[in-house]
Structure 1
């Protein structure tokens, strides 16, 4: 939609008026003559209909955006990076709230980037439809950031970070978008993702004080209880919290015309071997990349498709009909499981536990292995990974050893993060591995001479084991009709229709049973 089309509709005109009103109220710019040697950046209007989890339009939003692609690094801007919360951190907070029966609240900062103060001199053209009469030749000098500028995210983050620290929040050193405020036995946890923030804790009074202070400092929207966050549907109940992406899954199926497809029971055929040089005609790379990207975001609440999505994502540069068929099989699996999600509830054993697994030389092109791990705290998983290893291993022992090292590194980070959240893991974190030789290599010095050729960065696991930070334990793996399963009581995926035990495996798709 262009400006002329939008200007003819009342809903979009009101949205544009609100945007200009917010900008002026925030004293974002001032009208000046363009100094010599400077160039004004063009701007444009961007329109979006904001929808809820049901797909209904909640409000129309018009955003004035600077064409930041014309800015030059080192001249128009310096630093641009701004941290956002990891989704695994969001899931951890959900798990923590469910365990303690806390409620999670959500707020949104209106025109967040307009609050960031700029250090550089930036000039923009006057927005279309809102030029000052008689002074059309003048430009606008920005005093605060505007959407689209390269430095806008950084400026906003610096502004909100300073505010939180001035209010006696402690920024987590292991997650820079997580802020914690402790007063006696009370705690307030705030998680920030650009302009969307969620917060929880054990004292409702601190919630109200936090809301009042934030509303006083910024123009805020109080959304209430967290119900729809970053495309994730959240159902907060008395006995737990369910997160799903059912609406998004249906949108993906519709987008790729698979909403009428026949469902299948697994996301990938057992034993399938894909290759870059496989059979089949070349397909549109843009379509394939769009499909894989959509599936990748669905893994935020669906670890059961993680491995399959990881495999097809290796062929985005030159996809063929064979690769497209494998990707569409994932969609057929999603068709029959759109209501699957993760249910976080109260657990009697609320400690960090990890599982590590690997295949050996599973990639048909470079013979590299795939590392996978999953971590639970309580009954439900909150973080997982499936990724091809950067090196070629010479045995299953080495492949499992490298995978376990990746798992241990993540465990150390999680232990530090949990300590900041007042959940210190006093005992060593148990990590289950299904290879006795890999465990022995991590524990017993006798085995060290046999692994000199392994990159030194993967021997970090030995130090963690000797320091008693983690404890590797053996877990039995059995085959059942060609599908890998694990004999363990840990690992539960609960939906509205039932409870399923599962474990993430590297050589086949994660399995629910």
Structure 2
């Protein structure tokens, strides 16, 4: 066995085996084996007797293979006599699966240098229908034969299939699989003489029979090591192993039952049906669907395909984390829909977070209250334009008519077009009731009555928030919406899109304290030592930083969690944007910088934005840029922030799309993007009744940039700048914006472009309006 393995790996790799670590099994200590190793110059490090941990890599691999093989056999309820095929298939899959020791590669790819294909992989033990060649059948014979899939052939590109009736194994390429089905082995006599199965009386040499054809060195090594390290010490029968597995299965079932009674969300209908709380939730969902006249029972027309459905369960919690209600949602399996047949358009607009913050700032300035309503089963209100059929939901099939399907009249959650249909319905309702849809924010609606009173409504899918200066308009909206849709009146807005909102006489405070705690607990940083700034002064990162590779999925999860936190924490925007540039190939250096942000958040858990009334309620912006701050491509970072009142409500920190040749040019490119945003904000404010009569002032700390923006003459230092960036000059000439100089120490946008010292950072954070909760509310 080892001679074959040695010849294979040395032939494929071009290297020679220098050492072979093993235990002191008889097959490794024989004189013949010792002589062979000595003649080939192979060192023989061995473990101390009865100390398998010294050969832990192989021992752990053996256990992994055994666990996988056991799982595959148990999944399809196959007889234990198929252990050899299961082990062989396990090794085949292991060589083509990701491993922690090789980032972005599989063992097969690392060995051969070619990325292996996985499109041919199938579920072990599933049913397979092999094509019978024309030469082996007559005209009226079946064209396929039923088999059980038992592995992949090592010497050809084909599948190994076992016929439980004839007790024969074949290799075929023309196969159709039914991966959910399995053979009923209880109806077959347990006579499998085609396989040798070892028990405790077998000799080690019988266990270590060589495979028919080694696929890769890892496969051969795994098989050889498994036999050598366990054979001399005796081998447990698989019956004992299966007995232990049965005990584990029973324990697992008990654990499942325990989870059903805890505050956990069931995974399927069978689990949920065992809990009265989820039964009530499912009954309420079906009742709401029937009340809404969403579907009708029908016969499936020829050529049509019914879309499947499933139950999704969610525990709704309030801002304190307490359970509010148990919600069951019937969802269509929209992934099976076909474009052009079952649906056409799917896009539906939602409100931008900066629009929501603007609405909060507007309410705080005028001492208005913000209210919140929720549309129950919102997607069920959208009228379908296409003809869609559904399967009957699990547990709620009509008795005696189980073979029929449901023809949808209205949209259902999970359908591709459901969001767009709901948005079309709610948009039509608002327009028909005298609301004006903002052309610059399609989820914002404004209504002004004859007395000049205003009502502003902001829509995010099925969550409505509204504010204004007329209580009677509030009541009319609630009454009209309740008549048209099934609504939940939440009252004063306190928790919206994961943002905690506290409204008081002094102003409105928004934060994400609960979400911050969840992030810290998720990444085990709740007990970390706090730091004063999210990023250390002078930090420069590149793609090729020193340190070991980090799991990209883990790093992306961390950065993504932090990204949403910037909704109320602009003070971490630059540091989060910096680490997000290295999500594809992160190292421990990048992870260290990302975790410093978590340490900063640990010390500022209850920080957020405080909006209050101010004397001057006008739009004002700050714009800044570094120069060639990215060490990889030498591009600069633009940053800007806009205030309306005393607190920031929109901000940005992005890497510029071009390489600039000077600080003046970098600041000019940043100013151009800032001006574009200012124009959009002016139009948005005009729609909600806040007209900006004077030009919007944008503060820049570079005098050359200001001169270049005001000078319409192209000269040698600016002639290469792209025309699109000169849009700023046109806005200045139309008196929509006005650029003014500000000292560097007063440039608030500086916090979005570079790491800062503690005192400077704290000062700019305060100017942004980021405060601790207890200081204001």
TM-score of Structure 1 vs Structure 2, range by shorter chain: over 0.9
SS in 1 for 2:384: coil
Larger Rg computed on CA atoms: 2
Q: Is the 8 A contact 2:533 2:758 kept in 1?
A: no
TM superposition shift of 1:481? 5.2
Q: Is the 8 A contact 1:440 1:447 kept in 2?
A: no
TM superposition shift of 1:147? 0.5
Q: Which residue of 1 aligns with 2:247?
A: none
Correspondence 1:496 to 2:773: yes
Q: Distance in 2 between matches of 1:240 and 1:185?
A: 24
Aligned residue pair count: 499
SS in 1 for 2:501: strand
SS in 2 for 1:432: strand
Matches within 5 A, 1:99-498: 99-183=365-449, 184-446=451-713, 448-478=715-745, 491-498=768-775
Q: Distance in 1 between matches of 2:315 and 2:766?
A: 45
TM superposition shift of 1:478? 3.9
Q: Is the 8 A contact 1:355 1:373 kept in 2?
A: yes
Q: Distance in 1 between matches of 2:560 and 2:355?
A: 21
The one-character-per-residue Cα deviations of 1:368-398 (angstroms, maximum 9, x if unpaired) are 1111110000000000011111111111111
Q: Is the 8 A contact 1:198 1:226 kept in 2?
A: yes
What's the TM-score once normalised by structure 2's chain length?
Answer: 0.63
Deviates more, 1:166-175 or 1:275-284: 275-284
Q: Distance in 2 between matches of 1:342 and 1:447?
A: 42
Q: Go from structure 1 to structure 2 and tell me whether the alpha carbon gap of 1:316 and 1:496 turns closer, same or farther (over 3 Å shift).
A: same
Higher relative contact order (CA 8 A, sep 6+): 1
TM superposition shift of 1:489? 10
- Unmatched tracts of structure 2, length 5 or more: 1-266, 747-755
Q: Distance in 2 between matches of 1:156 and 1:165?
A: 14
SS in 2 for 1:383: strand
Q: Which residue of 2 aligns with 1:502?
A: none
TM superposition shift of 1:347? 0.1
TM superposition shift of 1:74? 2.1
Greater per-residue strand proportion? 1
SS in 1 for 2:489: strand
Correspondence 1:73 to 2:350: no
Q: Is the 8 A contact 1:85 1:191 kept in 2?
A: yes
TM superposition shift of 1:447? 5.2
Greater per-residue helix proportion? 2
Q: Distance in 2 between matches of 1:199 and 1:473?
A: 36
What's the TM-score once normalised by structure 1's chain length?
Answer: 0.95
SS in 1 for 2:420: helix
Q: Distance in 2 between matches of 1:351 and 1:219?
A: 39
Q: Distance in 2 between matches of 1:469 and 1:76?
A: 47
Q: Which residue of 2 aligns with 1:511?
A: none
SS in 1 for 2:717: helix
Q: Is the 8 A contact 2:387 2:407 kept in 1?
A: yes
Q: Distance in 1 between matches of 2:708 and 2:496?
A: 43
The one-character-per-residue Cα deviations of 1:120-152 (angstroms, maximum 9, x if unpaired) are 111111111111112111111111001111100
Q: Which residue of 2 aligns with 1:510?
A: none
